[in-house]
Amino acid sequence: MLDDMLDYLEHIRERPVWQPMPDPVRASFRAPLPIAPADLSAVHQEFLENVLPYSNGNVHPGFMGWVHGGGNGPGMLAEMLAAGLNANLAGRDHAPIEVERQIVQWMRELFGFPKTASGLFVTGTSMANLIAVLVARDTALGFDARRLGIAATPKRLTAYASMAAHGSVRQALDFCGLGSDAVRLVPVDWQQQINLAVLRHLIEFDRKAGYTPFLLVGTAGTVDTGAIDDLDGLAEIASEQRLWLHVDGAYGALGILAPEIAPRLAGLEAADSLAFDFHKWGQVPYDAGFVLVRDGELHRRSFASPAAYLEREARGLGAGSTWPCDLGPDLSRGFRALKTWFTLKVYGLQALGQTIARTCELAAYLEQRVSESEELELLAPVSLNIVCFRFRCPDADRVNARIVMDLQEAGVCAPSTTRINGELAIRAAITNHRTGSADIDALIDATLTIGRALTPPVEDRELEASYGD
């Protein structure tokens, strides 16, 4: 199995990025309950035939969809070690908890948070955003809200995030009982950054209308275009208005490792909380989300739920409070910290920063290739590693959606789509450390080939238009 997976990583380029699953393969996952035992080698063979070839594809250098990291070999091996230990990181006194605490300490240092800041591994930034919003809510309402529920408060809390913020921010407000309408979506400027002047007006307007603004969410690397909000500006407004500042840095926050990007994250160190993923730009295998909260005590008070069976002791296995289960909704938790610890130690932060910078250089190269072609157009400024562009043609939304599906099915490269100002864009998020300029060329060449094949020649279109007359 180890050989298979090392070969998989070594020869990933020889495979299609992604391929559709044939019906018989899909049908193999509708099998009856496995009552009787089977040979390990037989199950392994089934994995090789039915699972491995039809995976998501984000290990492949041609994968450019959504924001998916490429993982790494040492991280993969660490997952095996973690599974072997089968440690439960709810709490208690053992070395795996210390590994997680080590990462918390490193992240405090990296992001300029104080020693009293708390941190926690979670599935991903969606969960990290939810945890941060819950701490902000309880801080605004008082911790009695946990017992009494939000219906007991006359306050109508409001939060502010840009229109380009990730959907998980609205979801977090929904899940914490305040309702997704409690998020005021602030317009963005041409660079897709939150408009601070409008933000100020909205806060003032809400206060006059009897609402209680409590939370400001800045984004470091928006999902559609990679824009970084003016975090310094947001920190100033949060401090003036006494609002909790949360930064959604799902992939962009780790840009702090690249000297070229770090200055653009100025203000991040003033945040009350930060959510980000090691599994995106950090290249740690899925999943490895993380939340950092400036005031660890507020964080603890939002989640700690004493129970007789979780009693803390002065010594023995029950020692060593605060436990991770005091900082989030999960009790049983796996050892996500180990693959992160291996990745950070084996590669070192400098090399990880260089990888991040390299993905941005590749995005700049893609931007250049798009601007050099009369058949292509750029739909948004390129801020970090995301390029939104499209093939120019009539019925462009439909044709470009087809181009993306055809690219994926051809197995050449796998961008995704989004909408920029209502127009469908081919969206390439270059996140994988294996991606190189040849992959960018392949994306451009295949886009042009498919786009041309889907679009009638200009003469035919003119002819069609004249018939129309």
Interacting residues toward ligand PLP by CB under 6 A: 67, 124-126, 166, 168, 219, 221-223, 248, 250-251, 277, 289
State the greatest distance between any 2 C-alpha atoms of the chain, in Å, as a whole number: 88
Q: Which residues pair with 376 in a beta bridge?
A: 391
Say if residue 322 is preceded by a cis peptide, omega within 30 of 0: yes
Give every strand in the sheet of 289-293, ordered side by side: 118-122, 289-293, 273-277, 244-248, 212-219, 157-162, 183-186
92 or 170: CB nearest ligand PLP: 170
Q: Would strands 157-162 and 212-219 be described as parallel, antiparallel, or unpaired?
A: parallel
Per-residue burial over 332-348, b if 16 or more Cβ lie within 10 Å, else e, is ebbbbbbbbbbbbeebe
Cβ atoms of 145 and 138 within 8 Å: the answer is: yes
Q: Please report where in the chains the tokens 């496995």 appear, as a residue.
A: 34
Helices 196-208 & 231-241, crossing angle to 10 degrees? 20
From the CB of 276, what's the least distance to ligand PLP, in Å? Answer: 9
Chain centroid to Cα 174, Å, comes to 19
250 or 352: CB nearest ligand PLP: 250
219 or 359: CB nearest ligand PLP: 219
Amino acid found at 357 = A
- Residue 3, Ramachandran bin (φ over 0: left; ψ between -120 and 50: alpha; else beta): alpha
Q: Would strands 244-248 and 183-186 be described as parallel, antiparallel, or unpaired?
A: unpaired
From the CB of 66, what's the least distance to ligand PLP, in Å? Answer: 6
356 or 393: CB nearest ligand PLP: 356
249 or 296: CB nearest ligand PLP: 249
From the CB of 125, what's the least distance to ligand PLP, in Å? Answer: 3
From the CB of 418, what's the least distance to ligand PLP, in Å? Answer: 11
From the CB of 226, what's the least distance to ligand PLP, in Å? Answer: 9
From the CB of 429, what's the least distance to ligand PLP, in Å? Answer: 8
Task: Identify the CA nearest to 255 among candidates 220, 225, 285.
Answer: 220
Q: How far apart are CA 460 and CA 458, in angstroms?
A: 5
224 or 272: CB nearest ligand PLP: 224
369 or 427: CB nearest ligand PLP: 427
From the CB of 166, what's the least distance to ligand PLP, in Å? Answer: 3
Q: How far apart are CA 76 and CA 93, in angstroms?
A: 26
247 or 270: CB nearest ligand PLP: 247
Instruction: Give the length of the chain.
Output: 469
From the CB of 258, what's the least distance to ligand PLP, in Å? Answer: 17
298 or 386: CB nearest ligand PLP: 386
100 or 229: CB nearest ligand PLP: 229
Please identify the residue of the shown chain whose CB is closest to the bound ligand PLP.
Answer: 124
Q: How far apart are CA 247 and CA 268, in angstroms?
A: 7
